[in-house]
Structure 1
């Protein structure tokens, strides 16, 4: 029976780790390459820690290493399935967009609640080429930590009300609209919410993108 030791074992572990990473990317999509949520970031950190921490540990053999990667992949798939099909799971894991600036006024309580200090807010505004807060019609903290700034004078403001067949209640709250209003509007187009891949509110009208039949 062939027993791998030393650099041979390290090389095989690296190969298994890279293969696992490729499989996860192909199964869960290339969004992991550019994390758009807290869970995407955690997933990449943990996978990197597993591979980096185990590869050089001779006490952990190839079989144990492979089983650990398999367990982590299964857990990620379960969470991914939950966030894709159940809105309350996605909301609790990935969070929802948060308005930090509304009509030129800073919502200080929201900033403090989400750990955004004055320096952080100013930095994010400067990165969006904003020099004065009064120029901001609305600033939204996204799930990935980026700040979306909508200045006054912007003609096209897009609100993704439906994503993956689910209503984004956070965006509805920002627009001060109800789920009943959105469902009724969608029905006017001849669809149900679950039949839409995406729906955006643009120029005071709803643009719908249904799943192919």
Structure 2
């Protein structure tokens, strides 16, 4: 339980170093998007990459080459998905959730909050985090496709062109 053999430790060190270098190279070759916090698909890929690294390190039945193949498969699949979503607009809605307007001109949009399962407490917390103490000073709060809440102060709303493409409940 505490120690089996030195060969197991040496294997972990050797495969771990090789897998780490491989992962860094794969991530550098595939660009920033591979680990971006953009949507659920990106999160899944990030978690899966970590799982592959852990499995390659600790499972003696998995070789470095198999780990490399798994890293490669995930990154190629992500490149295919992101290429498709940027060139075939209709596919984007399948891959990524649209941002949703939760508050407009200081008024919470109850229907949107309910549909997105966001509480008023979470909405207020996001507003407070921006230094605002009054919802009336907020022009909009948007639940982004990555799950974050964006707060736009009322005095910064302008023509609200940043809200283009944001889903709005029928009463917004």
Considering the TM-score relative to the shorter chain, is it more than 0.5? yes
Flag structure 2 segments of 5+ consecutive residues without an equivalent.
Answer: 1-6
The 8 Å contact of residues 103 and 137 in structure 1, kept in 2 or not, is answered as yes
Q: 2:21 aligns with which of 11, 19, 22?
A: 19
**For residues 84 and 13 of structure 1, do their structure 2 counterparts lie closer, same or farther at Cα, with a shift above 3 Å needed?**
farther
Higher relative contact order (CA 8 A, sep 6+): 2
Residues 60 and 100 of structure 1: CA distance in aligned 2, closer, same or farther (over 3 Å): same
Q: How far is 1:131 from its partner?
A: 1.6
Following superposition of structure 1 onto structure 2, how do residues 83-162 of structure 1 map, counting pairs within 5 Å?
83-154=85-156, 156=158, 159=161
Query: 2:67 pairs with 65, 68, 82, which one?
Result: 65
Deviations 1:27-81 (A, max 9, x none): 4322445523332222211101111133111122233222222222222222122
Say if 1:13 and 1:65, in contact at 8 Å, map to a contact too. Answer: no
TM-score by length of 2: 0.77
Moved more, 77-86 or 19-28: 19-28
Distance 1:88 1:119 in 2: 34
RMSD over aligned CA atoms reads 2.6
More helix per residue: 1 or 2?
Answer: 2
Q: TM-score normalised to the size of structure 1? A: 0.64
With over 3 angstroms needed to count, the CA separation of the structure-2 counterparts of 1:48 and 1:130, relative to structure 1, is same
Q: 2:165 corresponds to which residue?
A: 170
Q: CA deviation at 1:140?
A: 1.4
5+ residue gaps, structure 1, are 162-168, 175-213
The alignment covers a number of residue pairs equal to 162
Q: Who is 2:3 aligned against?
A: none
